[in-house]
Amino acid sequence: MSSYIKSEFYRLLRNKWTYLFVMICSLLMISSNIVLAAVNYAEINFSYATTRFSLANLYSSLSMVFILCIMVASMVFGNEHSNHTMKNSVSYGISRSTIYFGKLIVEITYALVSFVIITGLHTISAYVLLENSGPGEVELLLRNCFVCLPLLLFALATTNCFLFIIEATGGGIAAITGLLIALPLVSNLLGMKFRFFYNLSRVLPWNMINEIGVDSDTRSLLLYWEGAAGYRNYWLIGILQMIIVSLIGYIIFQKKEIK
């Protein structure tokens, strides 16, 4: 598997979009801090040019990162079906488990590295350009990222799963979007009437991310479950669902004819 992963990283590093994605996202995040600093310079009583406001915008938008995971996994997966490169890999004797889980490992690695770079540049620019609200804001950002990490990994695993088992890119993206976003939204609506869907909606990653709040007084996270149980349950639910969707995708891929 190590040789396959190395070849995937080699292919990824030769793709211009690998760098453009990180560059574009970083510039957008930094530009938001520049705008806050510029408005603060022009307006005397502008109260939002602080690291607290800037970092809060970041960790309150982790649902957008959830969506970006679909883009990241799709970019790393490439046009394997249309270019018939997957068929060539299998014909060369590379096992399907190596291809499936090797892709997933590369997707997770690239996503984590990209997220660290983008978040790091945003945080640095915030502390350089804006009023310092104290180191506690960075700690709060890290806690948010930590609790959401398994849910973001689930999004990567789900995208990887459907891209392997559905050849048409459009159909794959539709299925991914349906499971990751449409199902939680529908469950929220049905949960107002039916207890089953209410309980289901509470353990769907999209809803779990969007339900995270911050106590303005104690600067602590507000989760479905209080205290350490909240962190534990977020990780257990996220990792369990990631494992389930990965195994389902792998089992179907094992039986699937590669064209």
pLDDT at 141: 93
pLDDT at 147: 94
Q: How many helices (H) and strands (E) does the chain have?
A: 12, 2
Residues 6 or more apart whose Cβ sits within 8 Å of residue 144: 59, 62, 212, 221
pTM of the model: 0.93
Query: Concatenated DSSP letters for 175-222?
Result: HHHIIIIIHHHHHHHHHTT-HHHHHHHHTSHHHHHHT-EE-TTT--EE
82 vs 47, more confident: 47
Q: What H or E segment, with its residue span, contains residue 131?
A: none
pLDDT at 216: 79
Q: Which residue has the tokens 């209080």?
A: 226
Query: Concatenated DSSP letters for 36-91?
Result: HHHHHHH-TT----BHHHHHHHHHTTHHHHHHHHHHHHHHHH-STTTTTHHHHHHH
pLDDT at 215: 84
Domain range for 217: 2-255
Reply yes or no on whether the pLDDT at 229 is more than 90: no
Mean pLDDT of 169-177: 89
pLDDT band at 47 (very low <50, low <70, confident <90, very high): confident
User: HSE on the CB side for 124, CA within 13 Å?
Assistant: 8
